[in-house]
């Protein structure tokens, strides 16, 4: 019987061949790729096919174009797990060969506004510790985040700037006896505004990921709400799911 499976589009074949060469090390990070015409000759395809293949690779963050200079291989994206894991941000970076670093931009106690009161299930004007950080991989800014923790769960947190530079969850558990039970995370692609572009060293309007997280303790009370913005050109997320027979 003749197969009815659709053949992959020609541009996808070219894209995968270029990607294979990047993975094999023929083209390393920072290397300039051949011109569109050279790729046309190499793969015996039209310029339109090559152009679409390169556009797809650029959208996936594998390559980038520099006006007037050509197309270059990009740095690999940094992987972050959104699944159940005992490894924090720093540990995940170290495993991938990066050196983690954190800058504290602001650490203060503020009154909860209406939105924070809803997220954290507290009353308006209740004291909340606001922690603003930039997290780095090899001195390159990766994401910018603001965390809000009800003062009642960690009353001395505002005086613990050094502890906040490492793992916030570990600090809450070990110093304030706050047990972390689960997080609910919402991820959305957005465009960088002026503030985000300044902190992350990218152009305003660049694609980024917005990640909102609500963290619950073992009593199912929200103990943190955070709003983080990750660079779209350097970030990749992994989600692991488990299914039972009834889910299939």
Contacts of residue 52, defined as CB under 8 A and 6 or more positions apart, other chains included, come to 11
Helix (H, G, I), strand (E, B) or coil at 73: strand
Tell me the per-residue pLDDT of 25-66, one tens digit each, with 9 for 90 and over. Answer: 889 888 999 999 999 999 999 999 999 989 888 877 788 888
Model's pTM, two decimal places?
A: 0.67
Q: What is the pLDDT of residue 81?
A: 57
Q: What is the pLDDT of residue 5?
A: 41
Tell me the per-residue pLDDT of 196-217, one tens digit each, with 9 for 90 and over. Answer: 999 999 888 888 888 899 999 9
User: 38 phi and psi, to 5 degrees?
Assistant: -65, -40
Percent of the chain exceeding pLDDT 90 equals 38
- DSSP string computed for the chain: ----PPPPPHHHHHHHHHHHHHHTTSS-TTPBPPPHHHHHHHHT--HHHHHHHHHHHHHTTSEEEETTTEEEEPPPPEEEE-SS-S--HHHHHHHTT--EEEEEEEEEEEE--HHHHHHHT--TT-EEEEEEEEEEETTEEEEEEEEEEETTT-TTGGG-HHHHTS-HHHHHHHHH---EEEEEEEEEEEE--HHHHHHHT--TT-EEEEEEEEEEETTS-EEEEEEEEEETTTEEEE------GGG-
User: Measured between alpha carbons, how far is 120 from 112 in angstroms, rounded to an integer?
Assistant: 9
Tokens 């050196």 correspond to what residue?
A: 99
* H-assigned helices in 25-139: 36-43, 47-59, 89-95, 114-120
CB 234 within 8 A of CB 61: yes
Domains and CATH numbers, the chain: 10-73 (1.10.10.10), 78-238 (3.40.1410.10)
Average pLDDT by stretches of 10, the chain with 248 residues: 52 87 86 93 92 84 85 77 58 76 93 92 95 90 93 92 84 90 87 90 88 91 93 78 59
User: Measured between alpha carbons, how far is 45 from 70 in angstroms, rounded to an integer?
Assistant: 20
Q: What is the pLDDT of residue 117?
A: 93
């Amino acid at each position: 019987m003749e197969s009815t499976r659709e053949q992959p589009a020609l541009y996808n074949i070219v894209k995968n061949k270029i990607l294979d060469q990047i993975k094999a090390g023929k083209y390393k990070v920072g290397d300039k790729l051949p011109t569109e015409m050279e790729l046309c000759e190499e793969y015996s395809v039209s310029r339109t096919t090559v152009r679409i293949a390169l556009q797809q690779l650029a959208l996936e963050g594998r390559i980038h174009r520099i006006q007037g200079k050509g197309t270059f291989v990009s740095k690999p994206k940094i992987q972050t797990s959104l699944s159940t894991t005992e490894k924090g941000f720093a540990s995940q970076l170290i495993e991938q060969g990066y050196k983690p670093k954190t800058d504290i931009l602001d650490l203060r106690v503020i009154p909860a506004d209406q939105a924070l009161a809803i997220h954290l299930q507290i009353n308006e004007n209740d004291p909340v510790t606001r922690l603003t950080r930039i997290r780095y991989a090899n001195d390159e800014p990766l994401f910018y985040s603001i965390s809000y923790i009800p003062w009642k769960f960690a009353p001395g947190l505002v005086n613990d700037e050094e502890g906040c530079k490492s793992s916030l969850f570990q600090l809450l558990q070990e110093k304030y006896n706050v047990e972390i039970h689960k997080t609910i995370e919402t991820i959305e692609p957005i465009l960088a505004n002026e503030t985000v572009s300044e902190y992350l060293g990218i152009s305003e309007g660049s694609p980024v990921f917005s990640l909102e997280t609500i963290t619950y303790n073992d009593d199912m009370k929200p103990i943190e709400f955070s709003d983080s913005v990750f660079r779209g050109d350097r970030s990749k997320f992994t989600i692991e799911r488990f299914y039972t027979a009834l889910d299939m």
